Amino acid sequence: MDVLDRAINGDNLSVEELSRLYEYDIFTLGKFADEVRRKKYNDKVFFNMNRHINPSNICADVCKFCAFSASRKNPNPYEMSIDEILSQAISSYKRGAKEVHIVSAHNPNYTYQWFLDLFSEVKKALPHIHLKAMTAAEVDYLDRKFGIGYQKVLEDIAKAGVDSMPGGGAEIFDEKVRKHVCNGKVSSQRWIEIHKYWHSLGKMSNCTMLFGHIENRQNRIDHMLRIKNAQQDLNIVESKKGGFNAFIPLLYQRQNNYLKVEEFPSGQEILKTISIARIILDNVPHIKAYWATLSMNLALVAQEFGADDMDGTIEAESIQSAGGAKSKSGMGRDEMIAQIKNAGFRAIERDSLYNELQEW
């Protein structure tokens, strides 16, 4: 059997073996990934009505790829108050958002209690909204700054109302590349431990991979395998419902940062990466083609190459748009639906845990 058949078969293959998947032509990879995706979801493409809120861009970390942080190339530092965040969340809810996605830079001015107050205030004001908040990098930052222990941070934010965790901060797990692109940030091992502990509380999260910068193909495969293994451990150890919901390959946005990148991936390389993710990550239910980093066009094409989700309407986006993405003011619901349907798919609005809400 060749490596593609063995990968589809779910055989235990090494990073070196799986890296050879990139040698297949894009149509072969796409065909196999599309079969896997269609078996699960047929011609459905998922999206949700969500609102991103980024409370501050003042950051104690110095990730080279980041254009958002005010301690890097962004000349406009800001810090929102709980009231400001609350009023944004409430107005988005009134416009139909069913999820708020709150992720911040690692601002040393916010206290530990500030985060707990923020989450309980959001939940008090909007008990029906899904609160997706706190990357593992933020959890790790609070743990280290306040000496609390990440387990307690996770238990506290869950009590305060956080429903699920986003997948940010994973970047690329390979330690050598990670040291170069985001030295000092949460370690790869700790990122995974934090998600596994969160899952053991019966909670869901996502996982990302920042790609298209200085990492190579093996680094991407290694990243996917670490996620697959983390999810596998969970299935063996835990009976509660928790785990990774979606894998999100985030395409590196190249403007306004300190990372020197010579070559950017072609559209084919990006689609191959998405197809390979669908093939390898057979134990992660969804592959999200995040339109903010891929562009709407490529995110739609990616739905034929293994992806099944676009993310959502976003409304406001500061991290990727600081790096050049066209996502600053999100995307209207009707536009999202029309684009999905024009691409020949069924547009399925989902909630944050992928329960289907409505076919449009």
Q: Which residues ranging from 196 to 235 are in contact with ligand V47 (CB under 6 A)?
A: 206, 208, 210
What is the signed CA dihedral for 70, 78, 207, 236, rounded to 10 degrees?
120
Q: How many of the chain's residues bind ligand V47 (CB under 6 A)?
A: 22
Q: Is the separation of the CB atoms in 197 and 240 below 8 Å?
A: no
* From candidates 55, 168, 285, 330, binder to ligand V47 by CB under 6 A: 168
| Per CB under 6 A, 293 contacts ligand V47 | yes
Supply 139's token pair. Answer: 């959890």
| Per CB under 6 A, 250 contacts ligand V47 | yes
CB of 168 to ligand V47, least distance (A): 3
CB of 160 to ligand V47, least distance (A): 19
Helix (H, G, I), strand (E, B), or coil: what is residue 273?
Answer: helix
| Per CB under 6 A, 248 contacts ligand V47 | yes
Supply 352's token pair. Answer: 């944050």
* From candidates 143, 171, 222, 308, binder to ligand V47 by CB under 6 A: 171
* Residue-wise DSSP of 68-112: S-TTTT-----B--HHHHHHHHHHHHHTT--EEEE-----TTS-H
Residue nearest to ligand V47 (CB): 168
| Per CB under 6 A, 188 contacts ligand V47 | no
| Per CB under 6 A, 249 contacts ligand V47 | no
Q: Is the separation of the CB atoms in 30 and 271 below 8 Å?
A: yes
Contacts of 229 (CB under 8 A, 6+ apart): none
Q: Which is nearer to ligand V47, 250 or 340 (CB)?
A: 250
Q: Report how far apart, in Å, the C-alpha atoms of 352 and of each of 37, 72, 130, 273 are.
A: 19, 32, 7, 24
Q: Which of 102, 105, 106, 113 is nearest to 159 (CA)?
A: 113
* From candidates 169, 243, 285, 306, binder to ligand V47 by CB under 6 A: 169
Supply 125's token pair. Answer: 């004001």
Q: Show the site string, 45-84: x = touches ligand V47 by CB under 6 A, - = not.
A: --------------------xxx-----------------
Q: Which stretch binds ligand V47 (CB under 6 A): 35-43, 104-112, 161-169, 275-283?
A: 161-169
Q: Which is nearer to ligand V47, 248 or 280 (CB)?
A: 248
Contacts of 253 (CB under 8 A, 6+ apart): 67, 293, 320, 322, 323, 324, 325
Helix (H, G, I), strand (E, B), or coil: what is residue 267?
Answer: helix
| Per CB under 6 A, 253 contacts ligand V47 | yes
Q: Show the site string, 298-317: x = touches ligand V47 by CB under 6 A, - = not.
A: -------------x------
| Per CB under 6 A, 290 contacts ligand V47 | yes
By the criterion CB under 6 A, which residues form the site for ligand V47?
65-67, 166-169, 171, 206, 208, 210, 248, 250, 252-253, 257, 290, 293, 311, 319-320, 323
